Structure 1
Amino acid sequence: MTNHEVDQDNTQQQNHPNRNFCYGTILLILDIIIINLKFWFYTFEHIYLSFYQKEEKDVRGEIVLITGTAHGIGRDTALEYASKGATIVCWDINERGNNETVKEIKAMGGKAFSYVCNVSKREDIVQVAEKVKKEVGFVSILVNNAGIMPCHPLLDHNENEIRLMYDINVLAHFWMIQEFLPEMIKQKRGHIIALSSCAGLIGLKNLVPYCGTKFAVRGVMNSFYEELRRMDLHKQIKLTTIYPYMVDTGLCKKPHFRFKSMKLVKPQEVAKTIVSAQRRGIMELSIPQHYLYLEKFINIFPRKACEVVSDFLDTGVESDL
């Protein structure tokens, strides 16, 4: 190789990093443009869909498993799904109340099964889940509804009460998902609904542990969706998180609110909203619907500004002790 050829080769090597830098910069600029286009497209799409009612999916013949069906939201959700032609699997620790729900479904011509299960115990969930798979079939819609709501100051809660609240309100979601998600993945379809609460959007006095559980449910469902998305399963396995305001089920014993318009929500209304949201494929929904958007809007402001709004609305629960 001549000295001239060596000089040319060295020059090319010196220019090579510059070409790489220019190429990388062009790719980065293109990525930024594409991200901006996608960002605003999905933003305006969401705004449009907020006003446009999507067609509700038919649930006839689907097997729907609901926890906490002995009373309240769980019972009314079971009745609502049954009225749409779904087969209902009712889970509750309260055998008598659970059987009454099943009896009511059958009286209206529906199909339902009753199983006693203590969802605070993982071993119970595993055993009963196996029975359901063998005796009923593939659960395509799972509604994690069961929950408890003691209402008193943090220092008045004992260890067992707090642990039980987390076992039922949060940990049960993990065990239920682990039992029924694998078959959903295998079947390439499924829908999982989680009951959070408006207490999972804002903190309230006398509900510190309860708010903690409902904030946790929100975090679980958000991160669970991201995991499904990264696995490219989010189009097959759908998720819905529901945030009801205080519901008239007996759990909220001493509610208070400044404005009469902020009255307790009827469980029948919540049930209809849950079923409709699932059938339309909505990921997050509060009851009333504007509360979720209000929470997102308020949180862009300083903490003290939010406290002014909270004091003005003056809503919450008194201690049940």
Structure 2
Amino acid sequence: MSKLQDRTVLITGGGSGIGRQMAQAFAARGATVVIWDIDLEAARAVTKDLESSSGGVHHAFRVDVSDRAMVARTAEEVRSSVGDVDVVVNNAGIVAGNRPLTETSEEEIERTFAVNTLSLFWVTKAFLGDMVARNSGHVVTIASASGLLGVSRMVEYASSKHAAVGFDESLRMELAEVAPGVRTTVVNPFFIDTGMFEGVRSRVPFLLPILAEAEVAKAVVVAVERNRSVVNLPRLVGLLAPMRILPVKAFDAAIGLLGVNDTMKTFHGRAPRPEPVDAD
């Protein structure tokens, strides 16, 4: 029996893309899934599919994870209507687009950090106290390979994901002291074939393939089941840290050979998600 059987898993940004795939994978392991998404109709569509395919009762909520008041309010609603949350998957994320920093607006930069970085604090804090009290739980942070190195034409995104990697590592160290039964996982994937990064291309797909959503979702579920602290996809991403021993010029040249800074040149992304509607 999976350790996820009868556990409650909350996934932010679960209404589409890898979030939807993770919801399906967790539900297939017997978990009750709670979907948080800025698009309530998309979230409800996912829970309806889960109930048809995997059985059980699953739950959908409209949440803008960058709004800390809404996060806190909805977390209380989850506690009262669903119960304790055993696994939190911080998946919600956005990217401004294929532009240099000088052409990226202040509003886009602030929104990127609000969703990709600050939301990690608001969502995790909303449930972490209960996990620490039980000395049981798991926090997953979907970061990015761009959280391990800088990437041209996505300065705001890569910077927000660097912060996400630091968030997970610091939280892991803290929990080891105060609640070792609460575990964390950070996931650092190369580009995934979601609409979010529509149009990106890899120069060396045999080394850095564009990842399939289902492949990443499966890796996340396995990591939670096996308490893996770090998931790098593909494996080459795990070599970025030891490559830092190289002089800066040599490191930059190696990254250049892999074509990382060319990946965004063909990016066009998907249409923007709807803005949140005041639940009140």
Is the structural similarity TM-score above 0.5? yes
What amino acid does structure 1 have at the position aligned with 2:19?
G
Residue 165 of structure 1 is matched in structure 2 by 112
The 5 Å alignment of 1:310-321 reads 310-315=255-260, 316-318=263-265, 320=268
Task: Indicate if the aligned counterparts of 1:139 and 1:180 stay in contact, CA closer than 8 A.
Answer: yes
2:31 to 86, 102, 107: 86
- Pair 1:255 & 2:200 matched: yes
- CA displacement, residues 55-76 of structure 1 (integer Å, 9 cap, x when unaligned): x951100000000011011100
Matched residues in 2 for 1:177 and 1:170: separation? 11
- Pair 1:295 & 2:247 matched: no
Task: Indicate if the aligned counterparts of 2:144 and 2:161 stay in contact, CA closer than 8 A.
Answer: yes
Please report the RMSD computed on the Cα atoms of aligned residues, expressed in angstroms. Answer: 1.5
Residue 25 of structure 1 is matched in structure 2 by none
- CA displacement, residues 85-115 of structure 1 (integer Å, 9 cap, x when unaligned): 0000000011111111111100112431010
- Pair 1:220 & 2:149 matched: no
Higher helix share goes to which structure? 1
What amino acid does structure 1 have at the position aligned with 2:181?
Q
Shift of 1:228: 1.8
Task: Indicate if the aligned counterparts of 2:91 and 2:141 stay in contact, CA closer than 8 A.
Answer: yes
Deviates more, 1:306-315 or 1:71-80: 306-315
1:238 to 173, 180, 183: 183
* Structure with greater contact order relative to length (CA < 8 Å, sep ≥ 6): 2
Matched residues in 1 for 2:200 and 2:193: separation? 10
The 5 Å alignment of 1:140-289 reads 140-151=86-97, 152-231=99-178, 233=179, 235-261=180-206, 262-289=208-235
- Pair 1:58 & 2:32 matched: no
Shift of 1:229: 2.4
What amino acid does structure 2 have at the position aligned with 1:144?
N
Task: Indicate if the aligned counterparts of 2:201 and 2:210 stay in contact, CA closer than 8 A.
Answer: no
Shift of 1:320: 4.0
Matched residues in 2 for 1:121 and 1:280: separation? 32
- Pair 1:76 & 2:37 matched: no
TM, length-normalised to structure 1: 0.79
Identity among equivalent positions (%) equals 31
Matched residues in 1 for 2:102 and 2:11: separation? 33
Matched residues in 2 for 1:246 and 1:110: separation? 32
Question: For the pair shown, which has the larger CA radius of gyration, 1 or 2?
Answer: 1
TM, length-normalised to structure 2: 0.90
5+ residue gaps, structure 1, are: 1-55
Matched residues in 2 for 1:260 and 1:241: separation? 23
